[in-house]
Structure 1
C-alpha cells in the first residue's frame, strides 16, 4: 500500500540549530476510495431497459423499413428507429450492416412465400381454388395494395446490382408457380410461362401505381382479374 510521510517541526527557533527532538515524523494514511453510488451505473437515473426483441421481430420491422424507404435510401438511423434498436444492437444482430439486414429480410420473405404461396400452389385440389388462396395471401401481405413490394424496392440503384441474383431467383420462382397452375388447366407450356410472367408484371406494376396514386384500387383490380387472366 502506498503511504505518504510528512514532517512536523516543533518549537522552531531560528537562532538555534535543528534538534532531533524538535522534529516529528508522521504517516498520512491513503485517502479512502470514493463511496459507491447508490444509483445504478453511478447515475441519478435508472438505466433504460434493453429492448428484448426476437430476431424474427427485428427482421419483420426491417421489412417494413425497406418497403418504405427502399434499400439505397434507408439510413442506419431510419433502420434503428424502425426496429427500436440502437445502432450497436443492430450490428450485434447483423454484423455485416445494412447488406446483412437486407439478406435477412430476403430469407424472411422467402420463408413466408414458401409456406403461404408455394405450398398452396403445389398442393392438391382444383387450380382455381389454390389460386384464390394465393390471391388472398397476396392481398393480406400487401394490405390491399397499401404496402409496397420488397422486391420492387430492391431492383433499383445499388441494390439492383448487389442483389441481382437473389431477386431474379425469387421472381422466377413466382412466375413458375403461376405457370404451374395455368398448365394444370390445360394451357400449353409456352403460353403458361407467358401468363405467369404477365401475372407477376401486373401485380408488381399495380403495386407501384397504387402507391404512386395513394389509391389501392389498381392492385385490387389486378387481383380480381387474375383468375381469368391466368387460367381462362
Structure 2
C-alpha cells in the first residue's frame, strides 16, 4: 500500500526500508513510486540525482542518527571521564536500532554489495568513526590503546556478524546473545540507553 508523502524528509525512511529489503539494485523507481505514492517526476523533483541521491540521503540520515545516539555519547563520555555508561548506552542503542537483530544494517549491506565503491567514503567514515569513538571510551575504561583498538574492532565485527547470522537463521536471539557476550567483553552493565531510530 502506498504511503503519502509531502516532503523529501518523509520519503527517506521509506527509502531506507526499501533498500534494506531489496538492496540498492533491487529497489527500482517503480517500487519506490508504488511505496511512496509519488510519480517518477515527483521523485526526481525531490532527488534530481535519482536513486544514487536517494541512497546518499538514506546513508546521511543513518549516519546522523548514529552520530547523535552512539558516536557523540561515546566521545563525550570519554571527555567527561564517564567510566562505562557510554559503552553500555551504545549497546542499548544498537539493540534498539537494529530491533534486537530483526533489522538489517544498511551500511553493512552496501559495504558488501556492488555499490560499495559508489559509497565507499561514507561507509568507511561510518565504521571508522564508530571504532575510534568506541576505542576512546574503552581506553577511558582502563584498556591500553592497542587493546582498546583491537576490542573496538572485535565489537563492531561481532555486531555486524550477529546481525547477519540472526537474519540467516531467522532467530533474533542470536543477535541478543551476541550483544550480551560483547557487552561482557567490555565489562559494562546494562543501563537504559537511547531509543531506536530510523
TM-score bucket (shorter structure): 0.7 to 0.9
| Residue 89 (structure 2) aligned to one of 111, 133, 155 | 133
Residue 162 of structure 1 pairs with residue 99 of structure 2: no
| Residue 71 (structure 2) aligned to one of 100, 104, 118 | 118
Residue 171 of structure 1 pairs with residue 127 of structure 2: yes
- Alpha-carbon deviation of 1:152? 1.6
In the alignment, the residues of structure 1 paired with residue 128 and residue 187 of structure 2 have an alpha-carbon distance, to the nearest angstrom, of 19
The residue aligned with 1:18 is none
Q: TM-score, structure 2 length as denominator? A: 0.85
- Alpha-carbon deviation of 1:107? 1.0
| Residue 104 (structure 1) aligned to one of 57, 60, 70 | 57
Farther-moved stretch of structure 1 (160-169 vs 142-151): 160-169
- Alpha-carbon deviation of 1:132? 1.8
Greater relative contact order, per chain length (Cα 8 Å cut-off, separation 6+) = 2
- Alpha-carbon deviation of 1:228? 2.4
In the alignment, the residues of structure 1 paired with residue 181 and residue 7 of structure 2 have an alpha-carbon distance, to the nearest angstrom, of 39
- Give the ranges of 4+ consecutive aligned residues of structure 1 lying more than 6 Å apart after TM superposition: none
In the alignment, the residues of structure 2 paired with residue 153 and residue 202 of structure 1 have an alpha-carbon distance, to the nearest angstrom, of 15
The residue aligned with 1:11 is none
Matches within 5 A, 1:40-55: 51-55=4-8
Question: Comparing both structures, which one devotes a greater share of its residues to strand?
Answer: 1
The residue aligned with 1:189 is 145
RMSD: 1.8
Farther-moved stretch of structure 1 (156-165 vs 210-219): 156-165
The residue aligned with 1:24 is none
Runs of 5+ unmatched residues, structure 2: 189-198
The answer to whether the Cα contact below 8 Å between 1:66 and 1:153 also exists between their aligned partners in 2 is no
The residue aligned with 2:19 is 66
| Residue 145 (structure 1) aligned to one of 101, 106, 109 | 101
Q: TM-score, structure 1 length as denominator? A: 0.73
The answer to whether the Cα contact below 8 Å between 2:100 and 2:176 also exists between their aligned partners in 1 is yes
Which structure: larger Rg? 1
- Alpha-carbon deviation of 1:97? 0.7
- Alpha-carbon deviation of 1:180? 1.2
